[in-house]
Amino acid sequence: MTPRKLKVATVQMDATPSPVDERLDRAERLVSEAVRGGAQLVVLPELFNTGYDYTPANYALSEEIDGRTVSWMRDMAADHQIYLAGTLMLRDVDEVYNSALLFAPDGQYWRYDKQFPFLWERAFFREGHGPTIAKTELGDIGMLICWDSAHPEAWKRYAGQVDMMLVMSSPPRIASGELVWPDGARMRFNTLGLQSEYDFTGPDMNTRAAWMQVPVVHASASGAFKSPLPLAQISVGVPMLLRPSMWSRWKEADTALLECGYAPSTKIINEQGETIAHVEGDGDGCTLAEITLADEKPKPERYQPPMQHTDTLTYLFADVVA
């Protein structure tokens, strides 16, 4: 058999929260641009329809499966005869999940729920359970959402079972951020001991692609992140106990905003782990590339390498303390 060729596009969007209708209009322009370039599959970033922050507004922004964002995705896939993926906060009975949906041109769709909500995300949606393999006419496709991709076990569940992976992210660079109070006082966030450095969407993602021997399409965010922290006094309280100079700020923690940027990492990775296309600069944009899908599903030939750019302290706070 001959390896298959597939034209794919990945989209970067500024994640500053803005009205859903406005963001869907922006996403439509980017999808149309990708289609003009010949894309058969287009991937949108995490929470592309709302933007990303930790405000109470998120509770009202969750949608049901027959809501406007899901209807928009279905229509886009049908109108352009493409496969379209992206995530939204999906209301399912009494719970909310961060759900990735992959739509086929005929309206069929596959759903994957984020398994590892990152730290404060747990205030807004629950964790999902297990992988989703979308058996499409393009091939068998696996999906992960942002912080999921920092977990080797999440990749392992797909190894040998898929032809390609889609990852949708909006990862603020919290470790390099600052807490900013209304009076202008600023404090480096990592001095609180709450967050260590991490870069799981960088070289480590390329390493996963090479280990699995499948292409990875990664859609991500850009722009400036600015948000209050849920349960702010609890979030910063314990570390502040060890820093008397910060005690005066503890009662005002809920008035501070966390400000930082996003990692520029919207890219297409081939089965050898090489980045073959990426979005340059900030703001909205997309990039396209032709990828090769093996005629038989590749199986890893060795143990999965460890994550090199995310340390134990980050996992401790994001997965255990949270």
**Active-site residue, from 114, 121, 267, 271:** 114
Q: Radius of gyration (Cα) for the chain, nearest Å?
A: 19
**Active-site residue, from 46, 63, 121, 271:** 46
For residue 314, how far is the Cα from the chain centroid? 17
**Active-site residue, from 5, 22, 33, 146:** 146
Q: Which two tokens stand for residue 200?
A: 């799981």
Nearest partner of 172 among 204, 192, 195, judged by Cα: 195
Output phi, psi for 162, to 5 deg. Answer: -130, 160
Contact 170, 71 (CB under 8 A): no
Other CB atoms within a 10 A radius of the CB of residue 57 amount to: 12
Contact 67, 114 (CB under 8 A): no
Annotated active-site residue 260? The verdict is no
Amino acid code (one letter) for 202: G
The owner of tokens 């005066």 is 248
CB neighbour list of residue 21: distance below 8 Å, 6 or more residues apart: none
Annotated active-site residue 146? The verdict is yes
Query: What is the DSSP annotation of 241-255?
Result: HT-GGGHHHHTTGGG
Q: What is the DSSP letter of 234?
A: H
CB neighbour list of residue 320: distance below 8 Å, 6 or more residues apart: none
Residues taking part in catalysis: 46, 114, 146
